[in-house]
């Protein structure tokens, strides 16, 4: 089947804002800010809001309900991603001169390998609306702190990385490094247990994990497996 690129001003009716389904899931929408591997607000992110298909949002709600009695909760970093944002990432990866955020997001990796190593894709499952970048927090989680502009290595020890109120997963979010792989041998002890808690919980509600990024999950039975959308990330898109 040929995948379809769909240009719409508004989302299809199956899309929702996550906080309409579960307002207790923390949102730290990095691509609506400058604190990401590009170093600027990403095209199409008009508001810091998580949009997803209703099916994916309800699955996350079930995961949240399961985690809360165990002393954990969910936090999302990215949800639906417009194709225009994916195109911006593509251009960034093809520009070796742009090393603005290297010290934090890819301190030991040559960005020219971003495609080969699986960190950047020409087409992203996020644009189908049922893929999330997600982590665990300890409730009651404080609001995500404002980034102070300082770059801190994503593979540094936990207390030397950017403190974003999440539990220790062994690397920061969006870390382009082999240690971001879910089962990297250097990740042991409580860091591995945290990754496995996230993975197993999300698998029980229908998500599949991506082996190279501990934070990346896609709903297995997604509503739009062959459609890639480009409507903006904004609440008005799902009205």
213 counts as catalytic = yes
Is the distance from CB of 46 to CB of 238 less than 8 angstroms?
no
Element (H, E) at 227: strand 227-229
Size of the chain in residues: 239
Coil, strand or helix: which one is 19?
A: helix
Q: Which entry of 66, 203, 213, 226 is annotated as an active-site residue? A: 213
DSSP state of 223: S
Residue appearing with tokens 């539990």: 167
In terms of Cα–Cα distance, which of 31, 171, 149 is closest to 101? Answer: 149
CB 207 within 8 A of CB 220: yes
Query: Catalytic amino acids?
Result: 213
């Amino acid at each position: 089947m040929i995948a379809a690129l769909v240009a719409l001003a508004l989302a299809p009716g199956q899309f929702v804002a996550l906080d309409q389904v579960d307002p207790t899931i923390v949102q730290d929408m990095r691509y609506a800010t400058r604190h990401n591997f590009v170093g600027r607000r990403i095209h199409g992110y008009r508001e810091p809001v998580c949009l997803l298909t209703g099916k994916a949002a309800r699955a996350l709600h079930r995961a949240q309900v399961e985690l809360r009695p165990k002393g954990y909760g969910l936090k999302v970093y990215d949800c639906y991603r417009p194709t225009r944002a994916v195109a911006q990432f593509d251009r960034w990866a093809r520009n070796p001169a742009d090393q603005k955020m290297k010290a934090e997001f890819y301190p030991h990796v040559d960005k020219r390998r971003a495609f080969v190593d699986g960190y950047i894709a020409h087409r992203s499952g996020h644009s189908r609306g049922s893929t999330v970048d997600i982590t665990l927090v300890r409730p009651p989680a404080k609001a995500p702190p404002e980034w102070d502009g300082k770059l801190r290595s994503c593979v540094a020890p936990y207390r030397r990385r950017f403190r974003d109120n999440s539990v220790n997963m062994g690397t920061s979010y969006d870390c382009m490094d082999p240690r971001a792989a879910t089962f990297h041998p250097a990740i042991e002890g409580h860091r591995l247990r945290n990754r496995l808690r996230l993975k197993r919980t999300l698998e029980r509600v229908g998500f599949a994990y991506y082996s190279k990024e501990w934070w990346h999950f896609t709903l297995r039975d997604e509503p739009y497996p062959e459609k890639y959308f480009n409507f903006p990330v904004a609440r008005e898109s799902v009205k």
